[in-house]
Chain A
Amino acid sequence: MSIIEIKNLSFGYDKTRKVLDNLIASFNEGRIVALIGKNGSGKSTLLDCLLGINDFEGEILIKNQNIKELSDKEYARLVSFIPQSVQINIDYSLRDFISFGRNPHLKFGLSLTDDDYQKVVENAEKCGIAELLDKDINKVSGGERQLAFIARALTQETPIIIMDEPTASLDFGNQQKLFKITDSLVKDGKTIIFTTHNPNHLVNLDCDIFAVSDGTLKPITQLNGMTIKKIYGDEFEQEGKAFLFKL
């Protein structure tokens, strides 16, 4: 069953060139959806449209609700977001940072309850960072920080989690940890949408792959040298084959 439907989505930063042109796609519930494409292909622009940041033409329906008609809190109860990297100069403790995920469930003017903080602890435990809860977000490693973002998304309790290049700042060990967590999230019924520069990550992952290329979004049924060539250009066919073969 589809959880997100994209209908005739077009967007350009200026009037002369459309980055995304009449996109039509649907993403299934309880799946990992990987968006691949070269730099500048529009992956992040598409994410910004999904997040409702970009003022796009067309429609995006989440659980049959047009995101343009949802309030900010209603939207945030459906979708959580894990950015590629964010410079946070204000040093919140990990506990505070993860607790921000409760905001969509909070009524105006009310404070977090003990139950909310219990959820923070539980999700930090799930991500293996419970012992770091009272550390400042700027004093933990890049990997631990990324896990804090995931814990925050879990605390937000949304059916969809969007991740922008989640593996970009992670070492191999943390990448594996991340995929393990995403796998368990999907088993819990969540839908994960993420962008990646590295098709390598997708070979062993049970996921639906979409390629963003020339302003369009196309489903990729099989990841092989041919598709790599289509997405990244002729010169990558051989490298692509070899690269994927290594796995």
Chain B
Amino acid sequence: MQTKKSNKRFIITIIVLITILVVLFFTSMCLGRYSVSIRDVFKFFTFQPIEDTPHRVIEYLRLPRTLIALLIGCSLAVSGAIYQSAFNNKLVSPDLLGVSSGASVGACLAILIGLTSALISVFAFIFGFAAVALTLIISKTFKNKSNIILILCGLAVGGLMSSLVGLMKYLADNEMKLAEMTFWLLGDLSKTTINDFWVILPVAVIGCAAAIILSWRLNIISLGAKESKALGVNYKVTMALLILVATALTAVSVAIAGTIGWIGLVIPNIVRLFVGSNNKKVIPISILLGSIMMIIVDTLARTIAPNEIPLSIITGILGTPLFIYAIFKRRREIQ
């Protein structure tokens, strides 16, 4: 039966992607300004004694950073998949309702007033949520249930937040704070520690698990309020839950690593090309492919140049051809 064949293909895809992810994860441990041999990496993970320097490099730099990259990749990809399906539009990104731009305002404000990096993350997270809340409150005043209103309010709030970011960059001194803001706005994992990992881990795990659990309902929600009702899904409650999950996943990613473009937009679209649009498949595959993509991006960010390259530059360079490929494959459907 066709369903069994497609399920088999899905399971094979999962196994292949997990294998790639594991290989990339260990490769990422080896690569960077200080090279670590694969033997040392193996010894580290099997709790065998190794020299102090490679041990410290893996324990304090590579491992937390790679784990964080993995969690950010899956969080952003899942968030994008949720927004795209929930709003029935494959071209929206996780910033649809203003979460990233709101988080940027929070982070820039924290940098401007000279707060520590931990507080920068806290500010980014709170402002990210606040921007989405503002979008929802404004759209509520229109008394029009159409998603278009919500998207337009998201655009308006996003625009306002971008202006505020501009204002804070204008007010920042050129020497330190402006550079810090710019680097943060382009995405950066160089300052992350294991503490950041413990912050993002529960949000990413709970968020991705919730997305998997809600993936079937997400399919139905994408058909709109009327059809959802007729198919037995509470549109309002499910939509609110999905927005909460997607916003938390994006906000925590942006809070830890700054704004990272393209992952949330491109990964779900690439996934749909290979496994179709059923979110029961799209969400799990997006988790794996988002993680893979982000580990590649982070490894490149710290290896291809003597200095660290901001993540969004690499996601843009890799994401653009992938996005064009996705459009090319779907060119006949675009009218």
Chain A interface residues (CB < 8 Å from chain B): 48, 51-53, 72-73, 75-77, 79-81, 83, 86-93, 95-96, 100-101, 103-104, 106, 109, 111, 114, 117, 133-134, 136, 138-139, 156, 162
Q: List 7 A-B contacts (CB under 8 A).
A: A73-B232, A81-B226, A83-B227, A93-B278, A96-B278, A100-B219, A104-B231
The reply to whether the CB of B220 lies closer than 8 angstroms to some CB of chain A is yes
CA distance A106 to B219 in the complex (A): 14
| CB pair A96 B333 closer than 8 Å | no
Q: Which of B1-52 contact A (CB under 8 A)?
A: 1-3
A83 to B230, CA, bound (A): 10
Q: Does B259 count as interface, using CB distance less than 8 angstroms?
A: no
> Is B229's CB under 8 angstroms from A86's CB?
no
Q: Which residues of B contact A91 (CB under 8 A)?
A: 272, 276-277, 333
Contact B225 A95 (CB under 8 A): no
Q: Is the CB of A72 within 8 A of B276?
A: no
Instruction: Select A89's contact among B1, B88, B225, B229, beta carbons within 8 Å.
Output: B88
Instruction: Let me know if B276 and A93 touch, CB within 8 A.
Output: yes
Q: Is the CB of B229 within 8 A of A53?
A: yes
Q: Count the B residues whose beta carbon is within 8 Å of the partner chain — how many?
A: 30
Q: For the complex, is B316 an interface residue (Cβ under 8 Å from A)?
A: no
Task: Return chain B residues, CB-CB under 8 Å to A73.
Answer: 232
Closest residue to A162 on the B side, CB-wise? B230
- Contact A117:B3 (CB < 8 A) given known A90-B85, A96-B276: yes
Are A81 and B230 within 8 A (Cβ)?
Answer: yes
Cα–Cα, bound, A75→B230 (Å)? 8
Q: Is the CB of B229 within 8 A of A51?
A: yes
Q: A100-B223, A134-B2 are in contact. Are A90 and B88 (CB under 8 A)?
A: yes
Q: Which of B211-257 contact A (CB under 8 A)?
A: 213, 216, 219-220, 222-227, 229-234
**B216 with A72: CB separation less than 8 A:** no
Q: Which residues of A contact B227 (CB under 8 A)?
A: 81, 83, 86
CB contact under 8 A between A53 and B231, given known A88-B88, A90-B85, A92-B276: no
How many angstroms between the C-alpha atoms of A139 and B333 in the bound complex?
8
Contacts of B224 in A (CB 8 A): 86
Contacts A86-B224, A96-B276, A138-B333 hold; do A79 and B88 have CB atoms under 8 A apart?
no
Q: How far is the CA of A73 from the CA of B90 in the complex (A)?
A: 28
Residues A86 and B223 in contact, CB atoms below 8 Å apart: yes
B89 close to A (CB within 8 Å): yes
- 14 new A-B contacts, CB < 8 A, other than A90-B84, A90-B85, are A51-B226, A51-B229, A53-B225, A53-B226, A89-B89, A89-B90, A90-B272, A92-B219, A92-B277, A96-B219, A100-B223, A103-B220, A114-B3, A138-B333
Q: Is the CB of B55 closer than 8 A to any CB of chain A?
A: no
B280 at the interface (CB under 8 A from A): yes
Pick from B85, B88, B229, B230: contact of A87, CB under 8 Å = B88
Give Cα distance in the complex from A89 to B148, angstroms: 14
**B residues near A93, Cβ cutoff 8 Å:** 276-278
- The answer on a CB contact under 8 Å between B222 and A83 is no
Q: Are B226 and A103 in contact (CB under 8 A)?
A: no
CB-defined contacts of A134 to chain B, threshold 8 Å: 2
Q: Are A95 and B3 in contact (CB under 8 A)?
A: yes
Check B231–A103 contact: CB distance below 8 A: yes
Give the residue name and chain of the A residue nearest to B2 (CB): A134
Docked CA distance A49–B88 (Å): 24
